[in-house]
Amino acid sequence: MPKAGPKKIQRYTAEFKLKAVRLSHLEGVKVQDVAEALEIHPFMLGRWRKEVREGKIRARVAIAPEARKVKKKADEMDAYAKLRRSLALLKEEHEILKKAIRFSSELRKTNSNS
């Protein structure tokens, strides 16, 4: 059950929004991955993208040295997505192994009772 009281509303600067939108426009980078990396909802990032297209979000964003390495950012996002997929696969394999152990131990119990 949700806690009573006022909700905490996170405010983001126009610079943050523009940087997030620019990251989401990198080649080979998914909006979902950018949103997850920035810990924001993908719909929020989608809304920001729309607002940038419509010219509602404007700010001066200084070009940081790390922003110049666009390819590196895209590669990092790809690596992050790949690691997430690997983790999901490992978790699934772990669950299958737990079920197999449980199944084999139940078989042993029924066979030893006969």
Query: Which range (18-22, 39-43, 44-48, 109-113) has the least confidence?
Result: 109-113
pTM for this prediction:
0.48
For the record, the structure tokens of 47 come out as 């809304």
Residues in the chain, overall count:
114
At 41-89, the pLDDT tens digits run 999 999 999 999 998 887 765 555 555 566 677 788 889 999 999 999 9
For the record, the structure tokens of 66 come out as 């790390």
**Distance (Å, rounded) from C-alpha 33 to C-alpha 19?**
14
DSSP 20-41: HHHHHTSTT--HHHHHHHTT--
More confident residue, 61 or 103: 103
Percent of the chain residues topping a pLDDT of 70:
80
